[in-house]
Each structure stands twice: as C-alpha cells, then as structure tokens.
Amino acid sequence: MMEIIERLKVKGITLTPQRIAIVEFLGKSVAHPTVEDIHKAIKRKYPTMSMATVYSTLRLLKELGEIQELSIMKRGKACFDPNPKLHHHFLCRKCGKILDMDVDCPIIKKGWVSGCRVEEAQAYLYGVCSECLKKEQSAKE
C-alpha cells in the first residue's frame, strides 16, 4: 500500500500520521470495513483519532480514486473497499460478511448501454456464503 502513499505525496496531499494509519489499515484489510471499524482499529494507536477525520480521509481517498465506497451497506453503515478496480460483491445474510466476487460479467461494466454512457458499475449478490452453508449442513446432521 506504500504505492498509495507515494501517489498521495506526488499529488501534494498532506501526509499526516492519521492519514497514513488509515491507508495502512485499509491496505491490509480484507473485510470491507465500516467507518466505525476503521476508527476503532486506529484509536488503539492514536487515542485522539476522531470520526470526523476518518470520514474526511475516506472521502479524500475516494475522490482520488484510491478506494471505493460500496452502495451495499453493512446494517445501514457505509463500507469501503481498498481495491478501486471494477469488481463485484457478495453479502452473506447469515454472517454479514462481504466477499469480493471475481466474476467478469460481460454486461455489467463500463461502456455503453441503451444510449447511456456507463462510467462505473457495481453488482451486489445476496445470499448465504459457503461457510454458512457448511454450518447449516453440519447442524442438520
């Protein structure tokens, strides 16, 4: 994730310890954290870290195209994906986990559809993940 830091530096973005901490946390996260998740995690290191700072840094990173915010919401809370590239998501209704889907849909992508210019695309699948299905199976036996 140091590449992000480099790009921010090149763009003249002020690199505060808080911002670096957020970028580093996002870089190693795989769970599509909410603002609260991020705040809680970083508060251990920086006890004064405020929600306002987390919100503003996330907005900055989003505007710079370094991360993406998902339209799917974890129980009403926004969540973020450190991977800004086009990919889709699966939300498990049992455990609430969000999984990245590496499916390449020929239609849901940038380009043209019915005369409209598509600049961004996101697909959301909802259901039960393989882990939860396994648990259901064992419970039955």
Pick one of 1, 5, 70, 78: the residue that binds DNA (CB under 7 A): 78
Tokens 């199976």 sit on residue: 137
CB of 124 to DNA, least distance (A): 16
The dihedral built from the CA positions of residue 114, 116, 120 and 125, taken in this order, carries a sign that is: negative
User: Which residues touch 58 (CB under 8 Å, ≥6 apart)?
Assistant: 22, 35, 38, 67, 69, 80
14 binds DNA (CB under 7 A): yes
With residue 112 as reference, give the H or E element that holds it. strand 111-113
CB of 38 to a copy of itself, least distance (A): 20
Short-list 62, 99, 102, 60, CA closest to 82: 62
Pick one of 4, 23, 26, 34: the residue that binds DNA (CB under 7 A): 34
CB of 37 to a copy of itself, least distance (A): 19
71 binds DNA (CB under 7 A): no
Q: Which residues bind DNA (CB under 7 A)?
A: 13-19, 34-36, 46, 48-53, 55-57, 59, 76-78
